[in-house]
Amino acid sequence: MVYSGPHVSGPRFGNYELLDRIAVGGMAQLWSARRVNAADASPPTVVLKRLLPHLAQEPRLVRMFLGEARRLARLHHPNIVRVLECGEVDGDYYIALEHVPGRDLAQLLDRLVRGGPPPPGLGAAIVRDLCRALAHVHDADEGPSLVHRDVNPANIMVGLTGEVKLLDFGIAKQLIDSLDPTTRSGLLRGKLGYLAPEAIDGAEIDARVDQFAAGIVLHELLTGRRLFAGRNDMQTMGLVRAARVSPPSDVNPLVPPALDRICMQALARDPQARFDSCATMAKQLGEVTETLAWSAAQTAALVRERFAGQDERELSHTQRAAPSRRPMQRGAVALGCIAIAVAVAVGPRLLHRAGRRAEVEKAAPPPPAAASVTLLVRSIPTAAMVTLDGSGHPPGRTPLTFVMPRRSAPVRVHVAASGYRDAEVTVTPSENRELSVTLLPAPRPPDHRQGPTRKPAPTRKLSPGRPTGVGAPIDPFSEP
């Protein structure tokens, strides 16, 4: 990626220069960064995933965070964002990821559906590449098979040259349950509208949950509307659990029968009725893509067309929350036809008045930006106490929505729950946003009835035999 305009130096973080903070989640912060004085052929711009400070205080979680990063670094595939290195800077643990200029699929879909459902070839091509990436993940040779568990449009990058990349494996999020096995029951990972029924039911999951999520993404690309979107979380989970799905061609007649069949098989409620692997699904989607004569160049053209006027700095590897997609409804089309018929019937005088009114509205200045924004705070566990420092808002329990004046100054969000360690996250209320915070279990006092506590094992260095000064990277291909 090449930034337009003069480069402005940012704060240093070890061997990196921080450029922009992309997002803050329940486990980590994402930053775009530039490697300083790189002597090798590594990309000058990367994305840094930094473990939140309160999570970095848990040694076991840190070991899992870095260990899983090393494992993912071995996944070399053109449709997976690469892990470049992982390391530590003054107790701040990070993973450096490949930077992909482009847009995530959630943002792209928001622009695409404004003109109706996207072309079927686009959906077939994007999900074909997504399934190729998932097949590579599931078939990893070393150790037990990985399961992504968080496949959704925000975790799929579509690049400026039409490439498709799977990202954000939720490295620490997938492993946090093992800190305290008693917290496993009832916890759902991944966005609710992209879970599989067996995940909602609490059954044993495997790679087929990723295939079901890929089917949801395909259905939404073919129809231009959300598949499982209830008025609240409970209703959404009920829709997923029932998994009653109509073929995409019911909404978009341009979808060919072969694409209907692939989508419906991936969305089978019974995991046994789905494809035997994501590789098989990818192969069949590839055949449809060839039949529809869709190419990466067409995907790239759509990305550039929908985001015309934005320079390449904006078209970056981001995971900002995309605006909510309002699906096109058939009823809206019918109402439009009725309105046209009424306009013709009432004669030219009414049309003339409407035209004059439209001219006045066009000449009027645009409305000012909203003076207030909303911050939705969720947590694991739920019903945690949330305090917003210096805002004047009374504390409350999650899930909790704050309404506050739009501003650029950051505010501190403090989250606490009995039996868990407190967490504090800093956010800037410049736009509507959702914040998800995962609390770690508090240390349990020793049980003196079971005899004296054993001495803790001696601390091991992160990278034996290598320098561990500020910014010392950890070789992702070496074991701790």
Which tokens go with 221? Answer: 């690309």
- Reference 106, options 197, 45, 194; nearest CA is 194
Residue 5: pLDDT above 50?
no
SS3 annotation, 167-233: CCCCCCCCCHHHHCHHHCCCCCCCCHHHCCHHHHCCCCCCCHHHHHHHHHHHHHHHHCCCCCCCCCH
Q: List, in order, residues 6 or more apart from 39 with CB less than 8 Å away.
A: none
Q: Residue 178: its pLDDT value, please?
A: 45
Active site (annotated) includes residue 276: no
Q: Residue 120: its pLDDT value, please?
A: 96
What is the pLDDT of the chain when averaged over all its residues? Answer: 75
- Cα 329 to Cα 247: distance, rounded to the nearest angstrom: 16
Domains by residue range for the chain, with CATH: 12-100 (3.30.200.20), 102-306 (1.10.510.10), 372-438 (2.60.40.10)
Please pick, among 150, 168, 210, 260, the residue that the annotation labels catalytic. Answer: 150
Strand, coil or helix: 370: coil
Regarding pTM above 0.75, the answer is no
| 207-243 pLDDT per residue, tens | 999 999 999 999 999 999 999 998 888 899 999 999 9
| 252-279 pLDDT per residue, tens | 999 999 999 999 999 999 999 999 999 9
Residue 58: pLDDT above 60?
yes
Q: Residue 390: its pLDDT value, please?
A: 65
Left, alpha or beta for 209 (phi > 0: left; psi -120 to 50: alpha)?
alpha
Residue 459: pLDDT above 50?
no
- Cα 239 to Cα 267: distance, rounded to the nearest angstrom: 13
Per the model's pLDDT, the better-predicted residue between 363 and 22 turns out to be 22
Left, alpha or beta for 349 (phi > 0: left; psi -120 to 50: alpha)?
alpha
DSSP summary character for residue 441: B
Q: Residue 309: its pLDDT value, please?
A: 61
Q: Which residue has the tokens 């410049």?
A: 430
Strand, coil or helix: 452: coil
Q: Residue 209: its pLDDT value, please?
A: 95
Q: Residue 56: its pLDDT value, please?
A: 84
Peptide bond into 197 cis (omega under 30): no
CA distances from 39 to 13, 86, 126 (A): 17, 17, 35
